[in-house]
Amino acid sequence: MHSYKVPTDVIPTTEQDKRAFAERILQRQPALLELPLILVPEHLLHIPEEFRQQKAVVISALNRWMTRAKEEDLRLNIERPWIPTAEIYIPNTLRGKRFFKIAKAIGKIPSTLNIVPKNQNQAYWLLTMRYFWQARGVLFAHKLLGIIPNPIEEQGVLLRYLPETSLKNLELITDIDLACFKLLVRGGRYIREWAATKKIRYPFKSPMDLFLKIQRQSFLISWILGPCDSEPNWLSNAQQRDNISARIRLLKKKRWLEPAAMRQPYLEMEQAYLDFLQKVGWYGYWLLALRDHFDEEQFEEKLLSGHWQDYINALRAGKELFISEFDWRGGQPYKTKTTSKMQRVEGFIDLLGYIHWVWT
C-alpha cells in the first residue's frame, strides 16, 4: 500500500474539479455517461474547454440539466458521489437549436415513458439506456445536420469516454435511424394515404414527430420483451439472429427455402408478422404503409425502392443490435460467460459514479 501527500495548492474545490481529480487518481474506465446538451454563442466554441466551462451561460445551462439528472437518480433510488458528464456544446444558431431539439427529444425517451423498475438492476439498466439514447440522439443529429464535429471520430467527445462496443453499436443504430427517417420523409404521402384508407388517425405534424413516436414505441417494446418479460425461457442467440434475418426477408418480400430449420413456412410467418405490425400502432403502421411500395423486380419504377433498400441494408448491417445484451429471467439479467451457460449479472456503480456490469 502506498500513501501520497497532495500539495495543498492543487486540492480541487469545485465539484467539477473534484471529479476530474478523482478520475486522474482512480483511472476512469470507458463507460456510458450523462451528456448535457449546452447551447452557447458561437465564439465560445473557439476557446479552450476549461475556460468555456467557467462562462455564466454554460454554468447556468449545466446546472439546469444536472438538476433533472439528479431527480432521475432519486427516482431510480441511485446514490453516488457525483454524476459523470461529458458536455456537448452546440452553437446557439437556428440550425444549432434544431440539433439541440432533435438530440434532446431522442435522448430523453427512456426517462419519459413512466417506466418503474422492479429492482435495482432494472434501475441501473434503465439509466444505462438513458445514457445510450442520449449518445444516440447526439450522433443522429450530427448525421442529419452536421453542426458539431463527429462525436465518434478522433477527438470526438464520445470517442473520449465510451467503450469501443458502444461506439460501434451507436454507429450501426444511427445508420438504421437515419435510413428510417429518410423513408418517413420520402414516403410521407403514402403513409398518410394508407392511414386514411384504414381510417387510422394521423396526428403528426412532421416526419420527425412520427419518427419520435416510432422510437418511443420501440423502446417500450424492448423493455416489455426484456426486463419485464415473465417467460420462464429465453430465445437463444441463434434464434434471435434467425428472427431478424426472417424479418428482413419479410420486409423485402423475399421467400426462403422450405423447410427452414427455425422458421414457419414463409406465408404463415408473413401473415403472423403483418398481424403483429397491425397490433403495435405506428411502430408497425409505417412499415405496412410503405412495404407495398418496394419491388425488387420493378426497382426503377418504384420511387421508394432505393430508400427502402437503404433501410434494409442498414438493418442487415446492424443485425447483432437485435440480439439482447442480457437475457432477463424473473426481472433479473443473465449473460453467457466463457461457456454457453447463462450466469446472473449485477450492475454496480464505481467510485467515480459510472455504471458497470459484472457476473455474480
Question: pLDDT value at position 27?
Answer: 77
Strand locations in the chain (E):
37-40, 88-91, 327-329, 332-336, 342-349, 355-359
DSSP structure string for 198-229 = TT-----SSHHHHHHHHHHHHHHHHHHHTTT-
Which one, of 314, 110, 315, lies nearest residue 226 by Cα?
110
Report whether 152 contacts 53 (CB < 8 A): no
For residue 354, the Cα-to-chain-centroid distance in whole angstroms is 18
pLDDT at 300: 46
pTM above 0.85, yes or no: yes
Cell of 243: 428472427
pLDDT tens across the length of the chain (360 residues): 344 444 444 555 566 666 666 677 777 889 999 999 999 999 999 999 999 999 999 999 999 999 999 999 999 999 998 999 999 999 999 999 999 999 999 999 999 999 999 999 999 999 999 999 999 999 999 999 999 999 999 989 999 999 999 999 999 999 999 999 999 999 999 999 999 999 999 999 999 999 999 999 999 999 999 999 877 677 788 888 999 999 999 999 999 877 666 788 899 999 999 999 999 999 999 999 999 887 655 444 456 778 899 999 999 999 999 998 999 998 999 998 766 778 999 999 998 999 999 998
Q: First-to-last CA distance in the chain? A: 27
